[in-house]
Amino acid sequence: MGIEAALTADSFLTTQLRRVVNWARRSSIWPMPFATACCGIELMATACSRYDVARFGAEAMRFSPRQADLLIVAGRVAIKTLPVLQRIYLQMAEPRWVISMGACASTGGVFDTYAVVQGVDQFIPVDVYIPGCPPRPEMLIEGIMAIQRIIDQEGMPPPGGKRAPLGIALQPSYVPKPQPVGLSVGS
């Protein structure tokens, strides 16, 4: 980390227990991917070398809910799938976090039909909403960082780990650019 270069081998540091515990917590988020559709591909890309979610300590994807504390819902959720999602959420470790990734998970997206859940937050608490169809991996990383910032700021986890969902909605980072003028096809 570089700090060892500035300190002698016999040096010591003092800090608060809260800071050490929260540093460890935010640096070891274990996600549980619930990827049902195309947003899942962007979720997978987040773990590849180009984006490397390991830089944020959140690369240990667990497929066992009891070993995970961050549920990432990526894609549309069918009514028939909903009980599975709820059971996974209830089996996860406390304190647990939920990211709703993409338009389908947050609102049903373009699938305004009887068979698709019109927003998973109607059935499980959601901490961070990520817009987009699909959101880019950078947006998912920003969502994870939003949770890390909250963990950094908060005190020790409450007894039992229960807490209120954050309800953070990330702002889209895309800025539309004007079309180049005077450009003709084939010139």
Torsion of CA 1, 33, 35, 144, to 10 degrees: -40
Which of 31, 33, 65, 75 is in the footprint of ligand SF4 by CB under 6 A?
75
Question: 26 pairs with which residues across the strands?
Answer: none
* Site for ligand SF4 contains 39 (CB under 6 A): yes
Nearer to ligand SF4, 60 or 82 (CB): 82
- Residue 143 as a binder of ligand SF4 (CB under 6 A): the answer is no
Using CB under 6 A, which of 25, 26, 76, 96 touches ligand SF4? 76
Using the structure block, give the residue that is written with the tokens 């959420």. Answer: 89
Sheet with strand 97-101: strands edge to edge: 31-35, 70-74, 97-101, 128-130, 168-169
Q: Which is nearer to ligand SF4, 35 or 151 (CB)?
A: 35
Give the residue among 68, 39, 59 at the shortest CA–CA distance from 130.
39
Instruction: Identify the residue whose tokens are 């305004």.
Output: 112
Specify the stretch interacting with ligand SF4 by CB under 6 A; choose among 9-17, 82-90, 98-106, 118-126: 98-106
- Quick check: helix, strand or coil at residue 118? coil
Residue nearest ligand SF4 (C-beta atom): 104
Cβ proximity to ligand SF4, 25 vs 76, nearer residue: 76
Q: Is 60 in the site for ligand SF4 (CB under 6 A)?
A: no
Among residues 43, 88, 103, 147, the one that binds ligand SF4 under rule CB under 6 A: 103
- Binding status of residue 109 toward ligand SF4 by CB under 6 A: yes
In angstroms, the CA 132 to CA 134 distance is: 5
Binding flag, residue 139, ligand SF4 (CB under 6 A): no
Out of 133, 138, 149, 172, point to the residue binding ligand SF4 (CB under 6 A).
Answer: 133
Q: Report whether 139 contacts 132 (CB < 8 A).
A: yes
CB 36 within 8 A of CB 81: yes
**109 Cβ contact list (under 8 Å, min separation 6):** 76, 102, 103, 133
Report, in Å, the least distance between residue 75 CB and ligand SF4.
4
Contact set with ligand SF4 (CB under 6 A): 37-39, 75-76, 102-104, 109, 133-134
